[in-house]
Chains A and B, each alone.
Chain A
Amino acid sequence: MARRLERIDRPIKVLTDDIYALSSIWNMLYVAVPRIFPALLVLLMPLLSPGAYGERVVIITAIYALLALSWDFISLSTGLVSLGQALFFGVGAYIAGLLNLHLGLSPILTLALATVLGASFCTALLAPCLPLRGIYFAMTTLVYPLLIARVIEATAIVGGTDGLVGIDSFPNAWVETYLVLIFLLGCGFGLRRFMTTDLGLVLRSISDNDQAARASGVNVTSHKLIALWIGAALGAFAGAYFTHLYMFVGLSAFSLDLSILPIACAVVGGMGTLAGPVVGAFILVPLAEMLRDLGTLRIVSYSLLLVALVLFKPEGLLSYLKRRYEQVERWVEV
């Protein structure tokens, strides 16, 4: 007897999809809970995690979540895959450090400036490569962080191999913890909303089929520039935050680690969902912190995990959960 797995939308999903004047409290909760519950969880996490070390882990997780979100946004909205999130991170980190050390600006101001300037700088660097696609664009993004790190090493500008030390930290622990979490939530929900606007839909059409988008009269390159700028801004913010958190910025801001872990987070959580990479980061980064005693073996473990997931479960956790939340499965005879 041949059987197949049939998937049907749950009735409540269909109801909440189409009717905008929601009638029952259950319908409202069905829509609201998956959005509000994770947001509350993120905001409560610093209070739930024990001690200064726990808070530090939460902050680092949020920083990686921003990088992963930036990666996913760029790949979702332009179809370009970045192998060099470290570029955005490092540029943001160094700009924040330099502004703080040489101009004496306060951390909040440097964060804002580093985000805008860093994003513009990275976009300017990548702009000539934007007509490239696929593996060619991936290679340029892989090369940039390596190149910048070598140039800093060779010319000993901006501190050379010693890095910049003595950077100001945040005014107090509450700002230090909650600024990044609120920024992360704002970006996460904001970008999901952004993808449903007209501009977001045009961007998605570019990632689906750029030739068709161009044939419909869309200026592909300028739209890609906008998307890249937004993605780079998230990465630069993460880097600038890291600089003020550790009061130090060095060549490690351009390390390969920062390029691989965000991709791993996106694959774990589900690529192309924007929320998925954040979920992935909140799973993988604390795990990586726990494995810190293992030394470089933790890079081995998450590289292998990344390979295994890409090969056997490319769907991602969030897509799986979404499917179970919205649909029922049953076996039917063929």
Chain B
Amino acid sequence: MVPSLIIYGLINSVALALIALGFSLTYGISRVANFSHGALYVVTGFAAWLLLNRVQLNYYLAVFLAVVLISVIGASIYRLALIRVRGMPLLEIIVTFALGTAALEALRFFGFFGSNYSLPPLFRGGVTLLGVPVDTQRLAVVVIGGTLVFILWLVTHHTRVGLAFRAMAQDEQAAMMLGIDSDLMATWSLALGAALVGLSAIVLLPLSFIATESGANILVSAIAVCILGGLESTAGVIVASLLIGYAQILTVAYLGPHYQMIVALLAILVTLIVKPSGLFGKQKELEERV
């Protein structure tokens, strides 16, 4: 029991971190809370499915095209819509949320729901760790998740674009004074956030079905992790996904599967009431309370 809880808790935590990274990155750089996050996840899944099964592409090509497509969609959400309501957070939320809902309901209308659609796993077979059977795809989730976090850290700390991102996150006005194009960076942040959630969809979806119903759950999970960790902190994302990931696995094991989302929702509420800036968020500590 205990080894299996530890292993599956870790896998669940990394999955949560993968889902939340894109949301956190976008919010951290451009202050856009992308409420179409869950919809982007589902859209990537169906795009990859269509490319694989209707266009009959090679697996790697299909996956690559799906991720590129979703990042183009992310960038165009900013360029075509968000740019007009920039700086008004509530309108940004309403716009992204409505766009996400529209995409999900459109997919449902065209018959993309239920358990008929799934992506093939990247790796088949399984291994036994500490006496617990684990399939290779779940191990791949952990490895890919860890690699992504590392690459993200490298990019944001050692490239010019990454440094510009962090400058935007710290002080947008000062960054603009130094010649950093705020709109361009925000477009990039939306595109990168979308690409990250697309990648997570490619890695995580083979473990279950592609379902439009999961869009809301993905959004709630991402928000839960980001709120608990602090909205702009990558370290916060990692710690918060470990906390929520293990809490979910424990409640599922001892109370039942219905409680998985309740843990995430409670995490959001309790954090917002007790410490709205989250565990690691420092920058907005004063502004968010009256």
The CA of A209 and the CA of B233, in the complex, are separated in Å by: 29
Query: In the complex, what's the smallest C-beta–C-beta distance from A306 to chain B, in angstroms?
Result: 5
Binding site secondary structure of chain A: helix
Q: Is A153 an interface residue (CB 8 A)?
A: yes
Residues on the B chain within 8 Å of A136, using CB: 272, 276, 288
Q: Find A295's partner among B33, B93, B95, B109 (CB 8 Å cutoff).
A: B109
Instruction: Check: B99 CB closer than 8 A to any chain A CB.
Output: yes
Chain A residues whose CB sits within 8 angstroms of the CB of B216 once the complex forms = 146, 256
Q: Tell yes or no: B268 within 8 A of A by CB.
A: yes
| A-binding segment of B132-140, B178-186, B255-263 | B255-263
Contact A299 B102 (CB under 8 A): yes
- For the side of the interface on A, what is the size category? 35 or more
> What residue of chain B has the Cβ atom nearest to residue A220's Cβ?
B290
Q: Is the CB of B256 within 8 A of A154?
A: yes
Could you tell me which residues of chain B, from 117 to 131, have a CB within 8 Å of some CB in chain A? Answer: none
Q: Does A101 contact B (CB under 8 A)?
A: no
Q: Which residue of B97, B108, B258, B290 is within 8 Å of A133 (Cβ)?
A: B290
Given known A-B contacts A136-B276, A139-B223, A299 and B101 have beta carbons under 8 A apart: yes
B80 (CB) vs chain A CBs: closest residue = A311
Query: 1/0 per residue B224-262: CB within 8 Å of A?
Result: 000100000000000000000000000000001011011
Kindly list chain B residues whose C-beta atoms are within 8 Å of the C-beta of A144: 269
Which chain A residues lie closer than 8 Å to B11 at the CB level? Answer: none
Q: A129-166 toward B: CB 8 Å interface, digit per residue (1/0)?
A: 10111111011100110110011011000000000000
Contact check, A311 vs B109: say whether CB atoms are below 8 A apart. no
Out of A146, A153, A221, A303, which one reaches B220, CB within 8 Å?
Answer: A146
Please determine whether B93 and A135 come into contact, CB atoms closer than 8 angstroms.
yes
State whether the Cβ of B155 lies closer than 8 Å to any Cβ in chain A.
no
B106 on the interface (CB 8 Å rule)?
yes
With a cutoff of 8 Å between Cβ atoms, the chain A residues found around residue B163 in the complex are none
Given contacts A83-B93, A154-B262, A260-B98, whether A129 and B272 have CB atoms under 8 Å apart is yes
Query: Roughly how many angstroms separate A99 CA and B90 CA in the complex, as a whole number?
Result: 37
Q: Give 1 or 0 for each of A286-326: 1 = CB within 8 Å of chain B CB.
A: 00000000111101100110110011101000000000000
Q: A136-B272, A143-B265, A296-B108 are in contact. List 9 more A-B contacts (CB 8 A).
A: A83-B97, A132-B272, A135-B90, A144-B269, A256-B101, A300-B106, A306-B94, A307-B95, A307-B99
Using CB atoms and an 8 Å cutoff, list the residues of chain A in contact with chain B: 81, 83, 128-129, 131-136, 138-140, 143-144, 146-147, 150-151, 153-154, 210-211, 214, 220-221, 256, 260, 263-264, 267, 294-297, 299-300, 303-304, 306-307, 310-312, 314
Q: Can you list 26 A-B pairs, Cβ within 8 angstroms, ordered by A?
A: A129-B269, A129-B272, A132-B288, A133-B290, A134-B89, A135-B89, A135-B93, A138-B90, A139-B223, A139-B272, A143-B220, A143-B268, A146-B216, A146-B220, A146-B261, A147-B269, A150-B262, A260-B98, A296-B109, A300-B101, A300-B106, A303-B101, A304-B98, A307-B98, A310-B91, A311-B84
